[in-house]
């Protein structure tokens, strides 16, 4: 029997892994649960991803891309608006855009503590996020802002509180050095 050509199968498997992990947590993720969710044979998941860590890496990369795209759109090269307000708005959009997705991203991100295969992906995101923020500030401030944004997101997620954009703007503004006056 000839092999069926299915170019979208790998992506469907990644999408299914994200849905399974979002619904059941990383502990509920297996090749079997992902195959069932993607409606593909079990062998397809192991063909495309020999280990669960490989599948988690792909899922984490895809999850990171969503926030990265939003941040890139809000922080265009050469932008000069209120950086703290722009970042607070980005956090608000991210947190209100689907809590499950944000929870999953942090669950995958924190899984890197116990799964060394995920650490390079987490580090890639930190580098990319810092580079996006450095479009509007210096590299040290960019990393500090990224750390504060992570902290704010985790606090909202863990306390099940609501996101306070004005608080986030004020906290982020404290880390941003004042701009020199024109002509100085």
The full set of domain ranges for the chain reads: 8-50, 61-173
Looking at residue 78, its pLDDT comes to: 66
Q: Are 151 and 139 in contact (CB under 8 A)?
A: no
Looking at residue 59, its pLDDT comes to: 85
Looking at residue 5, its pLDDT comes to: 66
Q: In CATH, which superfamily holds the domain spanning 8-50?
A: Homeodomain-like (1.10.10.60)
Structure tokens at 34: 């992902």
| Average model confidence (pLDDT) across the chain | 85
Looking at residue 79, its pLDDT comes to: 67
- Report the greatest alpha carbon distance in the chain: 75
Q: Is 25 left (phi over 0), alpha (psi -120 to 50) or beta?
A: left
Is the pTM here over 0.85, yes or no? no
1.10.10.10, 2.40.50.140, 3.40.50.720, 1.10.357.10: which CATH number matches 61-173?
1.10.357.10
What SS3 class is residue 164? Answer: coil
Count helices and strands in the chain by DSSP H and E runs: 9, 0
Residue linked to tokens 């985790």: 154
Say how many C-beta atoms besides its own lie within 10 A of residue 65's C-beta. 12
Q: Which residues in the chain come in under a pLDDT of 50?
A: 1-2
Domain 8-50 identical in fold to domain 61-173: no
* CB burial readout 84-101, b (16+ within 10 A) else e: bebbbebbbbbbeeeeeb
Closest CA to 40 of 23, 16, 58: 16
Q: Are 31 and 52 in contact (CB under 8 A)?
A: yes
């Amino acid at each position: 029997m000839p092999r069926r050509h299915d170019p979208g199968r790998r992506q469907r498997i990644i999408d299914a892994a994200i849905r399974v992990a979002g619904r059941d947590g990383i502990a509920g993720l297996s090749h079997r649960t992902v195959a069932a969710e993607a409606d593909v044979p079990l062998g397809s998941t192991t063909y495309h991803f020999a280990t669960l860590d490989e599948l988690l890496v792909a899922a984490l990369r895809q999850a990171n891309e969503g926030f990265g795209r939003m941040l890139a759109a809000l922080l265009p090269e050469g932008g000069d608006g209120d950086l703290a307000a722009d970042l607070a708005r980005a956090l608000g959009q991210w947190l209100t855009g689907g809590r499950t997705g944000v929870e999953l991203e942090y669950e995958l991100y924190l899984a890197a503590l116990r799964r060394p295969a995920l650490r390079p992906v987490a580090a890639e995101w930190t580098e990319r996020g810092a580079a996006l923020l450095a479009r509007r500030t210096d590299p040290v401030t960019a990393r500090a802002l990224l750390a504060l944004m992570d902290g704010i997101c985790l606090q909202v997620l863990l306390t099940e509180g609501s996101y306070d954009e004005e608080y986030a703007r004020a906290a982020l503004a404290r880390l941003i050095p004042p701009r020199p006056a024109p002509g100085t």
